[in-house]
Amino acid sequence: MNEVKKSLFAGVAVAIAAGMVFVGSAARDRIDLGQRYADNSPLAGQTLLATRDNSQEVPEGDYFYEMSELLKREYVEPITDPQKLATGAVRGMVGSLGDPDSIYMDKDEFAIFQNQRNGLYEGIGADLDLDLAGGPKTKPGEKKSVHGVQPTGEDPQEAASYFPRVPKVTVVAIAPGGPADKAGVKVGDVAYSIDDHWVMNGPELQKFRLAQLAFGAKKLSLPELNVLRKDMRAKLERALMPLKAKNRLETGKSGGMTVIWLRNGQKVSTQLSRGTAQMSIASPKGYVLKFDSKAATGLKQAIAGKTEVTIDLRNNSQGDYSAMRECLAVVAPTGNYGVLQSDRKDKPEPLLVSKGNAHPPTITLVVDRSTRKVAEIFALALSSHFRAKIVGGPTGDDRVVQEVVPLPDGSGYTLNVGTYKTSATPTTVAVKGGSRIE
């Protein structure tokens, strides 16, 4: 064996050895993390390994395992379903975010949510949102205790002490011909009570708290406070947490309910019968675009050979972010259309169209308050870059991007991964688009 051969051999041996180290490490990843979830992350480029350098006292997997074993040994009843423990842990983590755009849903709720994404509604036939407007939403860098009381939790008494973060259950889209539509419910209505169950309401809790403080400062008499106290106690005894109220309105195909809504500060009572309804537009003013897996193909056909296209984006409050990106590539040239901002990244993730349509038709978008989430992002991305004219409006002002994560037992959750910001200046939008989108 000459020297060249020897060094070659040594090189190969080292490469094989290194290869085995890598294979071993990969095998461990596979075992620890299971099969990688399908990468539908809008913030693509993240890998699971990103968390490997977190030094923790007890690795989370071992912690979970030890805790499950402790329960199996000690809990008063036998643990029959260990998967339930995992789902419970996920629910706990999602709940700890205290974010109305990151919500855990049990099996039934998640099935209803998936149907809604396909346009099929039950309950009152409307899309409801947990709206924290006016409250402290997700301020960048805000340090929140994950152990604090969650506004979407189960205990009304505890939530009462947490009023600023109680979201409003707000109607954001109504299925034409559905129960809510028939009963005269309007977009923007806020659920105040359902069958005499008061829906937890931040401003009212705050008012009561202020009255208590006024009494403490001797600015309010005891009889006056007692009137409020009696009223608040009666309300709290039959209070519905916002998330529960939302579920109650969105669930069920039969039976009636009385719902009182807040509309422009006035209480409006409605009689509703549950049923099924299709989310659509009563009289569409153009091509109806739904951001699902077939959206891009359909849009391509719709614009084929045309120089002018009108797209109706009303009643469009649920959609898939990656489907929207594909649609953007169909009607917009290659370029940068804004950013997804989150406070966890040094650099926001750009909304890029890498293989766009160099010669798109002139596009008009029809929007209103029921144009939300990815539909709103689509409208804003196009209009702020002079790629579309906006008709109607203003839009729903909700540009949060959510991931939808299914879990093995049929439940699932949404995860807020960022908020869309246009790279153009708001003034330009207003002038060009002629609507108050920003």
Backbone phi and psi for residue 239, each to the nearest 5 degrees, phi listed first: -85, 145
Q: How far apart (Å, rounded) are the C-alpha atoms in residues 49 and 30?
A: 11
How far, in Å, are 120, 185, 235, 238, 266 from residue 243 at the CA level? 20, 19, 17, 15, 23
**Binding range to another protein, per CB under 8 A, among 58-66, 162-170, 282-290, 425-433:** 58-66
The residue with tokens 């839009």 is 395
| Three-state secondary structure call for residue 109 | helix
**Binding range to another protein, per CB under 8 A, among 47-55, 249-257, 325-333, 358-366:** 47-55
156 binds another protein (CB under 8 A): yes
Smallest distance from another protein to CB 299, Å: 27
- In this complex, which beta carbon is closest to another protein, that of residue 204 or of residue 403? 403
**Binding range to another protein, per CB under 8 A, among 121-129, 318-326, 350-358, 412-420:** 412-420
| Interactions with another protein, residue window 132-151 (CB under 8 A) | 138, 142, 145-147
- ∠ CA 89-127-176, nearest 5°, is 155
Q: Which of 108, 155, 224, 231 binds another protein (CB under 8 A)?
A: 155
Q: How many positions of this chain bind another protein (CB under 8 A)?
A: 100
Q: Which of 136, 256, 408, 434 binds another protein (CB under 8 A)?
A: 408
80 binds another protein (CB under 8 A): no
Q: Which two tokens stand for residue 60?
A: 């989370």
**Binding range to another protein, per CB under 8 A, among 222-230, 280-288, 293-301, 331-339:** 222-230
Angle of helix 373-384 versus helix 321-331 axis, rounded to 10: 30
Q: Which of 6, 9, 10, 46 binds another protein (CB under 8 A)?
A: 46
Smallest distance from another protein to CB 262, Å: 21
- Helix then strand then coil, in percent of the chain rounded to 5, is 40, 20, 40
434 binds another protein (CB under 8 A): no
Q: How far apart (Å, rounded) are the C-alpha atoms in residues 217 and 62?
A: 52
Q: Which of 10, 11, 12, 60 binds another protein (CB under 8 A)?
A: 60
| Interactions with another protein, residue window 101-120 (CB under 8 A) | 102
- In this complex, which beta carbon is closest to another protein, that of residue 131 or of residue 312? 131
Angle of helix 82-96 versus helix 60-74 axis, rounded to 10: 130
| Three-state secondary structure call for residue 358 | coil
